[in-house]
Amino acid sequence: MIQNKTRVTFLLPCFVRYQIGGFKVVFEYANGLVQRGYQVSIVFPAVGNRKASIGMRIRGLASYLLHCVDKAYRPDAWFKLDSRVQILWVPSLAERYIPLADVVIATAWLTAEWVRNFHDDKVQRLYFVQDYEHYMNASVKIKERIELTFKMKAQFIGIAPPVLEMLQQHGVVDIEYIPNGLDFDTFFLDVPIGDEVRCTVGFPTRPELFKATGDAISALAIVRERIGSGFSVWSFGGEKPAYMPDWVEYHVRPSDEKLRSLYNHSSIFVVPSHFEGWGLPGSEAMACGAALVSTDNGGVRAYAIHEENALLSPVSQPGSLAADILRLIADPSLRIALATKGKQHIQQFTWERAIGDFDNVINGIVAHK
């Protein structure tokens, strides 16, 4: 492999102990770029908020000192980063702590606030915008902070149609559209779509209100009222919330292998979110042959088309979700057709394609410099 001298640094807003979709996407790009010869660094800060209070800064300093020792900022427990990716743990994302790079990549608005203030003559900026849902639910003050990052002089990358629309509405012109990739070595079909063992309905559990986990529960309660309890329901997420009904089989942070098995034994997968920047669980379920029933939450439009490879309904309407679930239960041929088309359609979203497009954008930035 020819060594690429281009230095690329990803800035993350914090570290996480458990898998989060947006972080996983960044790690996939880091691995892919380093395998293409780039010199790649990932920076985790103890204080990611540029306007953190004094109390937050003190706690951040304590966290910084502690994790310098225990290395808990590393994602080794849930993601295998290539050993050539340099992982840095720093007090904050102030420019003095960031290694020299040809391209610095902001991966969230909190990181973009720091990058926006870096010296123009020292860095080429790339703003990788994955978030749509948090902006849509932010307070007025936070929205103002986010909108200021959209005014940054940078190359922007958006991952889904609503992200592009959000950026365009705020006057951003220099945008590349790069949909996420999926790990098809992990999420794939190993139970035929029409197999009778596909007898469960799944949904993700998330703590944020806009993820609307309660809407999925309400929809499935309606389904149970209509046709009885002759089908199984499962969900997965962090610690089991107190409001989760006993009739839901709950899985706490399942491994990818376990999650693939759950998807493969599902006839239907339900995503109830009000807003999504992308929505990894829905796309993973499609790759494993489950028929997708989702709200039209924005990000799902990157890979789902109503009545063609999924059923989409308005947000905040559990009754509409229930009607779509009931429709597929009553019409197995429709369910199989949608699931089959969904599985076929999702195959285009490879990491090879996404990383190649990301590579081209970086090359363009460096060439322009």
Dump pLDDT digits (tens) for 266-291.
Answer: 999 999 999 999 999 999 999 999 99
Dump pLDDT digits (tens) for 303-350.
Answer: 999 999 999 999 999 999 999 999 999 999 999 999 999 999 999 999
H/E element holding 9?
strand 7-11
From the list 209, 141, 129, the residue with the least C-alpha distance to 169 is 129
One domain for residues 226 and 141: no
One domain for residues 82 and 207: no
pTM of the predicted protein model: 0.93
Strand 200-204 to strand 124-129: parallel, antiparallel, or no bridges (unpaired)? unpaired
One domain for residues 308 and 159: no
Q: The domain that contains 27 carries what CATH number?
A: 3.40.50.11090
Model confidence at 367, pLDDT cuts 50, 70, 90, reads confident
One domain for residues 235 and 363: no
Residue 369 has pLDDT above 90, yes or no: no
Q: For 206-217, what is the mean pLDDT?
A: 96
Cβ(166)–Cβ(177) under 8 Å? no
168 assigned to some structural domain: yes
One domain for residues 208 and 138: no
Residue 176 has pLDDT above 60, yes or no: yes
Q: The domain that contains 334 carries what CATH number?
A: 3.40.50.2000
One domain for residues 119 and 240: no
191 assigned to some structural domain: no
Mean pLDDT, the chain, as a whole number?
A: 94
What gap in Å lies between CA 95 and CA 101, rounded to an integer?
11
Helices 280-287 & 332-346 angle (0-180, nearest 10)? 110
List, in sequence order, the alpha helices (H) in the chain: 21-35, 54-70, 109-115, 133-136, 140-149, 161-169, 213-227, 256-264, 280-287, 318-330, 332-346, 351-368
What gap in Å lies between CA 194 and CA 267, rounded to an integer?
9
What gap in Å lies between CA 329 and CA 315, rounded to an integer?
21
What gap in Å lies between CA 173 and CA 168, rounded to an integer?
7
**What range does the domain containing 268 cover?**
200-346
What gap in Å lies between CA 45 and CA 316, rounded to an integer?
36
195 assigned to some structural domain: no
223 assigned to some structural domain: yes
How many domains is the chain partitioned into structurally? 2
231 assigned to some structural domain: yes
| pLDDT number for residue 332 | 96
Strand partners of residue 7: 39
One domain for residues 84 and 212: no
| pLDDT number for residue 1 | 43
276 assigned to some structural domain: yes
One domain for residues 217 and 125: no
Dump pLDDT digits (tens) for 2-26.
Answer: 456 899 999 999 999 888 889 999 9
One domain for residues 145 and 210: no
47 assigned to some structural domain: yes
Q: For 90-108, what is the mean pLDDT?
A: 95
Q: Is 219 helix (H, G, I), strand (E, B) or coil?
A: helix
One domain for residues 305 and 206: yes
Supply 20's token pair: 């989060």
One domain for residues 64 and 112: yes
DSSP characters for 160-214?
SHHHHHHHHHTT---EEE-PPPB-TTTS---S-TT-TT--EEEEE--SSGGG-HH
Q: CA 123: distance to chain centroid?
A: 27
127 assigned to some structural domain: yes
Start-to-end CA distance of the chain, whole Å, equals 25
One domain for residues 223 and 332: yes
- To which residue do tokens 């007898």 refer? 199
